[in-house]
Each structure stands twice: as structure tokens, then as C-alpha cells.
């Protein structure tokens, strides 16, 4: 088998056929592509440009995101926890700076700014960091005016009025410089929202008609910027596909994950695990209680401040209270010996006036930490002359410094402060009061084996904003067309040669014809993915599940031994069906699935120059119960509208609210179009509908069937 790597083309990436590769490179100026016998070689070829500059290799997901970023478009880079957003962003920044682009990197909080090696939004755009509603622009900072690219990280925590202020400032800067700036925003709105006081909320609700949590996307400026959304979907932090699957459910507020976390998390508290809690008050209470139980008086380390340092800039506490034996977390990375990193744990071994010695958990090494300097920086411009041409160079200048022992008590920490961290072991108090808190907490650990729930997780604590779900088109009408489209082509996109790559990594519950009752039984057999099922002993499966066990094994391996019937004469019936990715009980959604099926069936009728006299609709429930109804059409037709409306009528008669796994539509009693009894009173509307069908057929034949789909309401209702 060959793999075709397109390094420079319409959509860089790896393709399985020469035809796909051709579509990406034909008539594309300076296209770069090559064929390989293995996928690994193909990826090495794509990543050559990054490896030559000592950049780490990128996954396919990350590579595509990187290419979108360097396109120059306004980009919204998003994705769940642990998908590598910061990793890709840092590579992009590095590349742009090598191209002498003036890049501004900022974030809503001081900690977030330090993590991305940037500055706070407030400092960069010269706005007060104190909680208040931002209304007016005083001036445009010169660094903003001269910049080429402006990046905002942790966009979910950037409040709408601050975002509006930034955009208005950038707009004025563009007007003055007469040049467009690329705006890149990075973050996950399913994670932590902006902080808003009660007083601010009252003002904001008057300013913003649809104010909810104050997310940046609530601004009209968000739409005006025409962000191209690039979503990273491959989780890097966690490796267990089942754990990743359940975390993804928690991210979007799917309550079906609650049972998994309650039954699979550890029951005994981790002795050295950090406690994650929702409130500062609770975290402080736990830390002080644990510290008070240690002997001797606590030693206090006071911060030292030099220059311009605001409260929002401070990376840690002004006062650090420690005792020998206290559990602590390191707040910096060891860039020399790599003995520790930000988030490493240990116990206080020795206390001195200006330093603290800690025995690290990982290697039991003793490390002494003195006062660490966190430089507080801001962007500045300096003149640069190249011959007769004078230009400005963008750089960062130290405006102040914050000094403190780079440690903090590590008995407990808030979910907010854990964002961006990764822990081996977490003791979680599963209470939350805000959007995304629990998802952030659950996703801090690398595996379910590192998670202990102090109390049972409850549905009401898994808070997920409906506004965020609507924004991402999760469970909203905005996503229905895409859902129907995906349902209609799901099976067609997977070829036998792709089964191992596409199917085997998926959770076993995603397999066609696998009921919900079977999944827990398979988990008990240590079968968690479709690949596990494909490699399982078929005799054991048959003993456990009977004939269904053999069928599951065959489907996992891409085997279908059902009889293939060859019929070389005119078709006697034409049908199409789809097995749904998840059970559906919404009538509107079922109707839209029927419309997609009617499109398929009517198109095939017209290709055969035939018309149908009867429509049949079949349904299969989640319990594999089948039932169907059929009706005679008012007259013979190949019209999509007529077939769909009759199918819709049948569904209304037969559907009683069951959860549906499969939907099928078939037309029978076919006759040649020229021989059929057609409507005696064909209306202008019907002639227009036939013309519409003809136009859509031509477009599908020209651009590909899957590329063209009918809008749900167009000419139907």
C-alpha cells in the first residue's frame, strides 16, 4: 500500500490514493508531494521542515493546525484539554519571529501570560487590570499599531468587554498603519469562564443584549473577524481511549460519563495526591489545617517587588507559610538538570532565611530553592536601520520583577489554578459551581488510575453552558445538517484497508450493531476498543454472546459475509439506510435523516430514468426491534420532495417515541419514466421542483455527491 504525502498543496497532509493526492496538487503553484510505502515515512517527510529547525514532530492534527496558522488568516485555535494547543502555538510564534514578523502574545491573567511567555492583555493594551467594565479607548499603544500578529491565549477567560476593547484598539491601529493584522485566539470555551463581579454583571447586561457569562464569542466583533475555527481533537495527555472518550463526554456536559467516573475512579485517597476543589476558601482551609498539624511554628517568606508589578502580574502569593514536612509543589522548571518541572511535588526538608530545601517525590533528590525572579515584561519598539530603510523592531522589556520562593503548599489547590497543569495523582472533591470546572479537574490526570473521587460525582455538578454548546454546535439545530451529512456517509468513508487506522483506536461502544448492554460485558473481558475486539478470541466471544459474539468479531475485522445479490436488469426497488452514530429519539432529527435518504434514493431513481409508485420506511430500535410501514404515492415520481413528504407522513404514523438505531427508506413498484402514469395536473411549483432536482444532480456529478447537500427546508416544506 502507498501513502501520498502532500507537503505543499491545497490541504497538506497524507492521502491514501493517487487520485486524492492529484486533487490537492494539480494546478497548485510549486506543489510538493511524494509517495511512501509506510505512513511513518510519509509523516517524517511532512515534518522535515520542523525537524531541521529542532522542532518536535507534529501529529497529523497538529500539523494541519500549524498550516492553518501560518496561512495568515484570523484563527480560533481550540480543542479539549491535553490536545497540544500551547505546543502548536509556540511553534507558530517561533516560526513567525524567524520571518521577522512582529508578534504580540498576551493572556487575560498573569499566570497564563507567563505560561505562554507573553504579557497580560491589560499591560499590553494599557488598560486598568482592576475589575471594571471597559468602555472607552484612550489611545492606541504603538506596539499594537506596529505589530503584524496579535495572539490572545486562554480566550475563554477573556471577558467580552475586554475582548471588545482589544478589537476596537486593533481596528484603530489598522486604520492608522493602513495594514491588516492577523488575530489568533486560543482556548477552549468548555473550560473556565471569565471572572465577573455582581456589579459588573449589572452593567454588562445593559450593554450586551444577549449577555450570559461574558464570553468573547458573545461580542458582535467575534463574527466580524471571520475567525477560521481550527480544532485539535487528538488528545496527547491521556493514552487510554476509554478514559479519553469519557473525558470528551464530560467536556460537553454528557451525563452518561458520570457512572464511568464513579465506578472506575480509585476508592482510596492517594497519600501524596493533591486535592482539587472548587473554591479558594476550601483550598485555603485544607492547606492551613494540614499545615497546623505539623510541629513547630511556620516560617513565613515574604515576596519582594521591584518596579511596576500589578496584582494581576503576580504568579504566586505574597506570603508563603511553610514547615518542615509540609507538602509543596514546585512552580518553575529546571532548565539545567531537568530534576523537576512546574507541577512537581515534594516535602520540605530544611528551612533557611532565604531558601528552602525540598525532597522531591520522583527521585528523592534534595533540591534547594532560593528566591526566584519572575520578570514582569511589556512589549517595546526600538528603531532598526537596514541601509537607508528604517524600521521598528518589537521586543520585550523588563518593567518590574516579582521575587518569591517558587513553591506553594500542595495539599489542595483550586480547579482554576490547576488549569494547564498535569498531575499523576489527584484527590478530587467533585463539587463545582461554574462552567467547565469539573472537566478541567478530571482532565488533569493522565489516567483514570490516578483519579480518586472523595465524594460521588453528581450530574448537577457537571456544569456545561448551553451557550457554549450552541457556539460549538453541540446538540443544537446549527449542527443538524452536518450531523445528517455525517450519518449518511459514515460507512462509505471507511475502506477495508483503513479499518485498522480508523476503526480500531475507537472505543468499542462505537461499533455498529453493538448494544449498550454488551459494552460493560466487553469491558469486563478487558475489551475497550474496537481493535481489542478484533484481536479477541472468537470462541470466547461466541460462548459469551452466542451468534452475536461472532458477528461483533467479524464487524470489528471488517468482515461481512452476508450474501451479495447481483441483479443486472432494471432495479425492482431502490433503497438506502443509515445506522446512527448514537440513538435518536427526536422527530425533527429523524425527519432530516429521512430527507438525506430521500436525496439518495431519488437521485438513483433519476439516474435509472425510473419513477416509483410506493414508499417504504423502516426503523430499528436500540433493542434491535424492526418495524416498517409503506404507502402508495399519489402518482409515479422520482421527485425528492414527493418521496420525502410521503416518508415523513409514514414516520408520523408509525413512530411512538422509541430510541432509534437505524433508519431505512425504500421505493418500490418502479416503472420506466416514459411508461409511467404521471400527474395529470402538473403545477408550476412541481416543474420548478423537478428543475431543482436536475440542477442538484448536475452539481453532484460535477463536484461529487458528498460535496452537495440540500438545505433542510429548501423547496420541501
Q: Cβ of 431: how many Cβ atoms within 10 Å?
A: 18
**What is the pairing mode between strands 610-621 and 671-672?**
antiparallel
Query: Do 641 and 591 meet the contact criterion of CB atoms below 8 Å apart?
Result: no
The count of C-alpha atoms lying within 13 angstroms of the C-alpha of 323, restricted to the half-sphere facing its C-beta, is 14
User: Which residue, chain included where needed, has cell 464511568?
Assistant: 260
Q: C-alpha grid cell for residue 113?
A: 501570560
167 three-class SS: helix
Q: What is the Cα 663 distance to its own chain's centre? A: 29
Residue 298 DSSP code: P
Other Cβ atoms less than 10 A from the Cβ of 283: the count is: 23
Close Cβ partners of 224 (under 8 Å, ≥ 6 residues apart) = none
Rounded to 10 deg, the angle between the 480-489 and 587-607 helix axes is 50
Strands (E), 285-371: 299-302, 304-307, 319-322, 327-330, 345-351, 355-360, 366-370
The 10s digit of each residue's pLDDT in 582-604 is 778 889 889 888 988 888 888 88
CA 465: distance to chain centroid? 15
Instruction: Return the H-helix or E-strand segment holding 34.
Output: strand 32-36
Q: Are 317 and 411 in contact (CB under 8 A)?
A: no
The residue behind cell 517587588 is 305
DSSP run (H or E) holding 437? helix 437-442
Identify whether the C-beta of residue 168 lies closer than 8 Å to the C-beta of residue 183. no
Residue 478, CA distances (Å) to 261, 589, 663, 709 in order: 30, 12, 22, 15
Would you say 297 and 312 are in contact if contact means Cβ atoms under 8 Å apart? no
- Terminal Cα distance for the chain, rounded: 48
Residues of the chain short of pLDDT 70, as ranges, are 1, 39-40, 44, 47-57, 129-138, 384-391, 475-498, 501-502, 512-517, 560-570, 581, 675-693, 695-717
Say how far apart CA 631 and CA 624 lie, in whole Å: 24
Residue 486 confidence (pLDDT): 41
Cα 431-434-438 angle, rounded to 5 deg:
50
Between CA 677 and CA 671 the distance in angstroms is 9
DSSP for 541-603 reads HHHHHTHHHHHHHHHHTT---SPPPP--S--SEEEEEEEEEEEE--HHHHHHHHHHHHHHHHH
pLDDT for the residue numbered 134:
64
Long-range contacts of the stretch 632-636 (C-beta < 8 A, 24+): 634/679, 635/677, 635/678, 635/679, 636/611, 636/612, 636/671, 636/676, 636/677, 636/678
Query: Could you tell me if 388 and 304 are in contact, meaning their C-beta atoms sit under 8 angstroms apart?
Result: no
Q: Please give the pLDDT value at position 634.
A: 85
> Residue 618 forms beta bridges with which residues?
628, 664
Cα dihedral 45, 79, 118, 467 sign: positive
Reading the block at residue 713, the C-alpha cell is 427546508
Give the integer Cα–Cα distance in Å for 310 and 376.
Answer: 9
| Full DSSP string of 367-430 | EEEEPEEEEEEEEEEEEEEETTEEEEEEEEEEEEEEEE-SEEE-SEEEHHHHTT--BS-EEE--
Residues in the chain: 717
The SS3 call for residue 635 is strand
Q: Quick one: which of 280, 271, 290, 261 has its CA closest to 455?
A: 261
Residue 680, C-beta contacts closer than 8 angstroms, at least 6 positions apart: none
The backbone region for 281, taken as left when phi is positive above 0, alpha when psi lies in -120 to 50, beta otherwise, is: alpha
Do 153 and 112 form a contact (C-beta atoms < 8 A)?
A: yes
The three cell numbers of residue 181 are 493584522
Amino acid at each position: 500500500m502507498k501513502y501520498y504525502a502532500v507537503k505543499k498543496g491545497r490541504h497538506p497532509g497524507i492521502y491514501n490514493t493517487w487520485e486524492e493526492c492529484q486533487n490537492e496538487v494539480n494546478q497548485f503553484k510549486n506543489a510538493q508531494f511524494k509517495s511512501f510505502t509506510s505512513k511513518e515515512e510519509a509523516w517524517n517527510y511532512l515534518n522535515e521542515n520542523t525537524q531541521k529547525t529542532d522542532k518536535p514532530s507534529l501529529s497529523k492534527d497538529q500539523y494541519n493546525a500549524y498550516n492553518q496558522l501560518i496561512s495568515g488568516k484570523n484563527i480560533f485555535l481550540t480543542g479539549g484539554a491535553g490536545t497540544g494547543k500551547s505546543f502548536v502555538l509556540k511553534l507558530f510564534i517561533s516560526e513567525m519571529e524567524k520571518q521577522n514578523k512582529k508578534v504580540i502574545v498576551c493572556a487575560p491573567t498573569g499566570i497564563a501570560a507567563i505560561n505562554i511567555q507573553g504579557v497580560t492583555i491589560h499591560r499590553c493594551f494599557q488598560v486598568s487590570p482592576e475589575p471594571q467594565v471597559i468602555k472607552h479607548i484612550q489611545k492606541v499603544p504603538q506596539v499594537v499599531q506596529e505589530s503584524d500578529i496579535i495572539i490572545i491565549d486562554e480566550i475563554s477567560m477573556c471577558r467580552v468587554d475586554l475582548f471588545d476593547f482589544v478589537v476596537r484598539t486593533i481596528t484603530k491601529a489598522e486604520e492608522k498603519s493602513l495594514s491588516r493584522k492577523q488575530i489568533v485566539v486560543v482556548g477552549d470555551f468548555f473550560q473556565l469562564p471569565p471572572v465577573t463581579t455582581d456589579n459588573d454583571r449589572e452593567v454588562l447586561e445593559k450593554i450586551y443584549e444577549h449577555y450570559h457569562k461574558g464570553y468573547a464569542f458573545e461580542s458582535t466583533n467575534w463574527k466580524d473577524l471571520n475567525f477560521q475555527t481550527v480544532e485539535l481533537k487528538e488528545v496527547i495527555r491521556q493514552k487510554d481511549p476509554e478514559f479519553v472518550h469519557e473525558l470528551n463526554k464530560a467536556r460537553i456536559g454528557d451525563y452518561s460519563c458520570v457512572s464511568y467516573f464513579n465506578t472506575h475512579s480509585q476508592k482510596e485517597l492517594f497519600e501524596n495526591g493533591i486535592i482539587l476543589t472548587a473554591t479558594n476558601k476550601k483550598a485555603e482551609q485544607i492547606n492551613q489545617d494540614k499545615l497546623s498539624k505539623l510541629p513547630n511554628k511556620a516560617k513565613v517568606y515574604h515576596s519582594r517587588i521591584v518596579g511596576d508589578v500589578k496584582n494581576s502580574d503576580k504568579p504566586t502569593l505574597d506570603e508563603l507559610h511553610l514547615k518542615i514536612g509540609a507538602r509543596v509543589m514546585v512552580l518553575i522548571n529546571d532548565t539545567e538538570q531537568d530534576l523537576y518541572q512546574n507541577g512537581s511535588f515534594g516535602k520540605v526538608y530544611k528551612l533557611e532565611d532565604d531558601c528552602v530545601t525540598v525532597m522531591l517525590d520522583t527521585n528523592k533528590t534534595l533540591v534547594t530553592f532560593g528566591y526566584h525572579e519572575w520578570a514582569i515584561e511589556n512589549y517595546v519598539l526600538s528603531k532598526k536601520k537596514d541601509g537607508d530603510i528604517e524600521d521598528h523592531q518589537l521586543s520585550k522589556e523588563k518593567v518590574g520583577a516579582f521575587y518569591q520562593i517558587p513553591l506553594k503548599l500542595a495539599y489542595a489547590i483550586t480547579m482554576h489554578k490547576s488549569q494547564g497543569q498535569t498531575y499523576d495523582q489527584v484527590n478530587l472533591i467533585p463539587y463545582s459551581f461554574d462552567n467547565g470546572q469539573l472537566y478541567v479537574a478530571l482532565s488533569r490526570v493522565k489516567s483514570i488510575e490516578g483519579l480518586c473521587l472523595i465524594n460521588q460525582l453528581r450530574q448537577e455538578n457537571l456544569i456545561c453552558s448551553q451557550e457554549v454548546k450552541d457556539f460549538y454546535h453541540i446538540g443544537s439545530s446549527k449542527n443538524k445538517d452536518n450531523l445528517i451529512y455525517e450519518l449518511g456517509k459514515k460507512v462509505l468513508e471507511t475502506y477495508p484497508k483503513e479499518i485498522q487506522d480508523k476503526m480500531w483506536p475507537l472505543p468499542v461502544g462505537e461499533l455498529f450493531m453493538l448494544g449498550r448492554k454488551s459494552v460493560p460485558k466487553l469491558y469486563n473481558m478487558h475489551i475497550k476498543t474496537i481493535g481489542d475486539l478484533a484481536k479477541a478470541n472468537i470462541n470466547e466471544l461466541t460462548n459469551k454472546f452466542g451468534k452475536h459474539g461472532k458477528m461483533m468479531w467479524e464487524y470489528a475485522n471488517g468482515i461481512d459475509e452476508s450474501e451479495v445479490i447481483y441483479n443486472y436488469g432494471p432495479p425492482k426497488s431502490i433503497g438506502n439506510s443509515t445506522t446512527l452514530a448514537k440513538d435518536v429519539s427526536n422527530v425533527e432529527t429523524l425527519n432530516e435523516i429521512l430527507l438525506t435518504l430521500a436525496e439518495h434514493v431519488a437521485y438513483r431513481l433519476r439516474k435509472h430514468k425510473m419513477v416509483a409508485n410506493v414508499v417504504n420506511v423502516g426503523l430499528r430500535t436500540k433493542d434491535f426491534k424492526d418495524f416498517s410501514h409503506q404507502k402508495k404515492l399519489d402518482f409515479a415520481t422520482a421527485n425528492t420532495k414527493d418521496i420525502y413528504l410521503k416518508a415523513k407522513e409514514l414516520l408520523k404514523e408509525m413512530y411512538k417515541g422509541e430510541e432509534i438505531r437505524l433508519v431505512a427508506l425504500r421505493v418500490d413498484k418502479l416503472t420506466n419514466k416514459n411508461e409511467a402514469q404521471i400527474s395529470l395536473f402538473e403545477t408550476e411549483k412541481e416543474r420548478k421542483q423537478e428543475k431543482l432536482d436536475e440542477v442538484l444532480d448536475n452539481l453532484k456529478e460535477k463536484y461529487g455527491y458528498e460535496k452537495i447537500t440540500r438545505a433542510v427546508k429548501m423547496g420541501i416544506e
